[in-house]
Every structure is written in structure tokens, then in C-alpha cells.
Structure 1
Amino acid sequence: MVAPIAIFAFNRPNLLRRTLMALARNPLASASPLTIFCDGPRNEQDEPSTQAVRELARTAEGFLSVDVVERPTNMGCASSVIDGLTQMFSLHERLIVIEDDILTSPHTLRFLNDGLVRYAESENIFNISAWSPPHVARAVPAGYPYDVYAIPRFNCWGWASWRDRFIGIDWSVGDYGTFKRSPYLRMLFNAGGEDLSAMLDAQMQGKINSWAIRADYARFKKHMLGINPLHSYTLNIGMGSGTHTTTKTAYWDSDISLALEVASFPKVIGVDEAIRKVYHDSYYGEKRSLPQRIFHRLSHLLRQCTLLA
């Protein structure tokens, strides 16, 4: 069965148009029911662009069906997504999620649907991501036999998951106090990038308003992994204009023309430590200071000691 798709949009009609056009080029689009959640304007200045988004959503074509949910007021990115996910997972066992600035390969829906089928019964898999840092594919160990890899991180630039992974998430992060005081838990959470604990801190301090870091924390608590492709099926075209992607950069850009029509998914998959290290380090880029490099190395050694204990 082809999974339904949810798109979350706000005030960027030009990006949403490109997102819808690319998604409709997927052969499975015509078999996929689509729901577009349109957030309301924050102020009078937002009204023309949010209205343009709604009009565009109503005219979306190429899908099995199109349902448009128009928010009467501005919920904000995080609340809109959390509410939409709750609604969709209450109706569907599995779901594909695309935000309004995600350009997809023609093979994206095939990849995500195949992943949903392959790992539906895998108790250690939290989600299937259509995006991967471009730096990973360039450093895959020789002889790596698959087209995907597992990583302790949730990527939200085009993804899919199942109801039982998302229903019951504590979006308030009620145990944050315990986590905040535990260097050990923070180290474990940071296995997918040293930025993870810092982002959760920023969320809980009210400095950002992200649903994704809270979903990633839920993944961490469930002791689950995310599945990523070696070659990305999506490209974020909204860098510099989004709620949390406010800096324009090409650092994360992937060549989605390299995405495979049919990917090889192993039935059982664990974390390849060489890939995890490249992945982890990609979130620093060229910005890591000497103290950070020392801390990273000590954390890595401690993690290895923990795994061997």
C-alpha cells in the first residue's frame, strides 16, 4: 500500500510550487493521497503570501487526492507540524512527510515507501529519511554493500515513519531535567552529532521552537536509529528563508540526480562506526575549535569503552 503524504507550508508560495511540481513527477504520486497543512498569517504582512500558499495548495495536481487544511490562525512551525502529525497518524499506520522547501527526486516516493515496507517490523528503526549529508557518500568504506545506512539521528528533510513510533511522544520533554544533568546521557544523545544536546537545550530554554529535535529525543529514548540513503533523494531549497534555516549555505546541498531508482535495503542493519564518525563530524564542518576536537576525541574514547564494557 502506498503511504499518504503530508506537506507543511506557511508563507513561501514560490518554494511550495517547486516542491509540489517535483513531488508530482514521482511515478507513485498518482497513487498517493496528499494532505497540505497551511499555517495562518502571523500579521497583516503575511496575509498575501499565506493566501497565495492556500490558493496554490487547492490547485495541486498529480496525486490520488488532495486535502487542504487551512489554519485559521498562526500556530507556528512546531505546533503546526506536531498537530498535523498527530492528526495524520491517528488516521494512518504510515506516513510520508515533506516540508514546503524540499525538492524531491522522481524516485523519492519509491524509496520511502520501500523503506516503510522493509522496516515496518524492525523494533530498532524509527524512521526512513530521504536526505543524507553529502559528505557521507564521499567517505563510505570500500566494499560497503548497501545503498542505505543506519545512524543515531532523525533527519526531517523528507522522511517517513509509522504510527507506533510517533504516537505517545512526550512533546513537552518531561524528563529534560534528568537529561540536562547527565553528562552520560548527553554524550549518548550526541552520537549522531555534538549539536543534538545543544539544540535540545535551546528548545527547552525557549531559544528555538523545533518539533524535530523533540522527535529526535524521542527516537533516542526508544533506543532507535534512522535509516539514511547514501545518495540523497531530496534537496533543501529553503536555506536562508526558513524558521530554523536562516543562513544561506550550500554546505548541505546534495546532487539528487544520483538518487537510485531502486535502493538495496538490508533486512537487519546496525551502525557502521566509520560512517557514523563521518556523519557525526559533518555537523561541525570547518568550525570545530581545538577544545571541541579534544572533547570529541575524549567522548569517542569513552563511548568505545562503554560499548566494550
Structure 2
Amino acid sequence: MINIAVFCFNRPDLLQQTLTTLAANHLANKAALTIFCDGPRHEKDEPDTHAVRELAKKTQGFASVEVVERLQNMGCAASIIDGLTEMFRLNERLIVIEDDIMTSPYTLRFLSEGLARYADNEKVFNISAWTPPHIARKVPADYPYDVYAIPRFNCWGWASWRDRFQDIDWDVKSYQEFKNAPQLRKAFNVGGDDLSSMLDAQMEGKLNAWDIRADYARFNKNMFGINPIRSYALNIGMGSGTHTTTATTYWDSDISLAVEHPRFMDDIHVDTRIHEIYLACYKGQKRSLPVRAINKLSRMLSGKNLIP
């Protein structure tokens, strides 16, 4: 059985697209889906949070569906950390999707195969469904795989194992030592110059995120994330999320190009050529890219555009 956790709050329109594409996955009928619905922050949230819960209860296309309704608003970070803790207590392996992630029909297969292949590999922290679009555009012609290893945890559709997550220190008790250690900060930033500053913001109370803390745990374990060359996931919530408040299509990948039968790597190492492309895209100008990638997948699934 494939175990999936979906986290949602107050965006029923995006959740509908997330669940529609997830149900269109080839292995959806073999998946146990748990949908975590956060509670409203205030009275104005109630119509949308109610709509999200009703939508979750009507979800079909999976082996089973369970809906967890939060009585009160926990907030994005607390809701996800609590849900992950419970799901990993019950399951050794888990696939996680948030409510603004559209998936390729091959996403569950890709993540499931990655979970099986790297379960005992002490170098692999997680499998990500998303990758920056710049990778596929610039990947060297002689690169032999459909995945690459990177010292960073990407959370726009991902999968991991209990033993990677069960001992994460969400309070980051070692932060003061890290804060005052230039060598540690430099080493963490090998995955991107923004990582240490994001952890600083989290610990200073300027940010309330769970993923940077998970990435810090990956760093301390000296592990890597496995990313696809061609993305299996697309974030459609840019500009409307808790942490994605700026509307941009800079990060949009064409998930219709996702590979059905990917070539995985067994020798986990960072290819310096791809690493340079990866780091460069985080420094690039946030240009707008066309939304045709979203509409192309929409036509494949429903015969019409999901985004006008």
C-alpha cells in the first residue's frame, strides 16, 4: 500500500486541482490517502475551510481516504509537523503533497520506486517530485540518469522514510552553535545561499516554516535529496500560500515531460555540472515563464484549461 498525506487549509480551488491530478496517477487506486485540514484562523476563513473539508470528504479514486479535521487553526508549520509525526509513527514510508501541487500521472510511481530503491541508502534523505525547470533545459547531453543528488530538501511533492524523520529536532537546539560557526553556515549553504538565512529567520521568529528545519536535519545527517531531471510536480499556489506570497512562474516546470520509467542512480554523488546549474537558478532573475505547462496537463486530464 502507498501511503499519502495531503495538507490543506483554505484554498478549495487549488486543492481540487491537486486531488484531481493526484487521482489521475497510475497507482492512485493502490494508495491510502490521509487529508489533513487545518482549522480557520478567524470567521472570514470559515467558508473556505468548510469548502476544503467538504471537498476532502468527497475525494475518490484511491484505495482509501481519511480526512483529519483540525478543531482549531494550527498554522502551516505546526499542522504539517504534527501530521508528519503521526503519519511516520504509523507508516515506515510516506509520500507528502501540499494543497497547491499538481502532479504528473507518473508521480506516485516515481516516488514509490525511489522509496523502494533508496530505503537502505544512508546517503538519501528524501525523494522530491519537483525540480527547478532550469535543470532540464541545461542538463549535459551525456548525463546518464533521470535523477540527480543535491544537498537540499525540496518539499513540493516528496517522499521519505520513518527513520529519516522520527528523530528530527524541530526546536533546533543546536542553532546557537550553528549560528556562530562560519564553516557550518558555509557548508549548509552548499545547497543554496538562502539556506542559512532562512534558518536564521525561522529561529528569530521572522519565519514559521517546517521545511527549513527538515533541511537542517538533512544537513546534520550528511544526506542528500534525490531530484528528478524533469519535474513530476508543479506548484500552482505561488502568490497565495503562507510562504509563497509572491506570484511568479519562474519555478514552473512542464510536468507533461515527466519520464514514465526513470533511470535512477545507484552511486549517490553530486554531479558538479548539475550542481552549478541548480545554484545558478536560485540567483537568477525572477522572470515570468508562460503558464502553458499548466494548461497542457489540464487538457490532458479534463479536455479544458484549469487556469484561464
**Paired letter, 2:90:** L
**Correspondence for 2:28:** 29
**Paired letter, 1:20:** L
Q: Distance in 1 between matches of 2:285 and 2:43?
A: 41
Compute the displacement of 1:141 (Å): 2.0
**Correspondence for 2:101:** 102
Q: Distance in 2 between matches of 1:213 and 1:113?
A: 24
**Correspondence for 2:254:** 255
Contact 2:33 2:66 in 1 (8 A): yes
Q: TM-score, normalised by structure 1?
A: 0.92
Q: Distance in 2 between matches of 1:166 and 1:156?
A: 14
- 2:48 matches 1:49: yes
Give me the CA root mean square deviation. Answer: 0.8
Structure 1: state its 5+ residue gaps.
Answer: 288-309
**Correspondence for 2:302:** none
**Paired letter, 1:147:** D
**SS of aligned partner of 1:283:** helix
Q: TM-score, normalised by structure 2?
A: 0.92
Q: Distance in 1 between matches of 2:69 and 2:123?
A: 35
Q: Provide, for residues 160-188 of structure 1, a one-character-per-residue CA deviation record: whole Å limited to 9, x for no partner.
A: 00000000100000000010111110111
Q: Distance in 2 between matches of 1:256 and 1:134?
A: 10
Query: Which residues of 2 match residues 283-302 of structure 1 at below 5 A?
Result: 283-286=282-285
**Correspondence for 1:138:** 137
Matched-pair identity in %? 68
Q: Provide, for residues 135-180 of structure 1, a one-character-per-residue CA deviation record: whole Å limited to 9, x for no partner.
A: 1112212311000000000000000000000001000000000101
Query: Which residues of 2 match residues 1-309 of structure 1 at below 5 A?
Result: 2-286=1-285
Q: Distance in 2 between matches of 1:178 and 1:225?
A: 22
Structure 2: state its 5+ residue gaps.
Answer: 287-308
**Paired letter, 1:58:** K
Runs of 4+ in 1 over 2 A off after TM superposition: none
Q: Distance in 2 between matches of 1:152 and 1:267?
A: 16
Q: Provide, for residues 165-220 of structure 1, a one-character-per-residue CA deviation record: whole Å limited to 9, x for no partner.
A: 00010000000001011111011101111000010011001111000000000000
Contact 1:7 1:99 in 2 (8 A): yes
Contact 1:193 1:281 in 2 (8 A): no
Q: Distance in 1 between matches of 2:68 and 2:138?
A: 42
**Paired letter, 2:108:** L
Compute the displacement of 1:3 (Å): 2.4
Compute the displacement of 1:261 (Å): 0.8
Contact 1:3 1:95 in 2 (8 A): yes
Q: Provide, for residues 225-261 of structure 1, a one-character-per-residue CA deviation record: whole Å limited to 9, x for no partner.
A: 0000000000000000000000000100000000011
Q: Distance in 2 between matches of 1:26 and 1:199?
A: 33
Q: Distance in 1 between matches of 2:41 and 2:247?
A: 23
**Paired letter, 1:199:** M
Q: Distance in 2 between matches of 1:64 and 1:123?
A: 31
Q: Distance in 1 between matches of 2:259 and 2:138?
A: 18
**SS of aligned partner of 2:253:** coil
Contact 2:124 2:226 in 1 (8 A): yes
**SS of aligned partner of 2:273:** helix
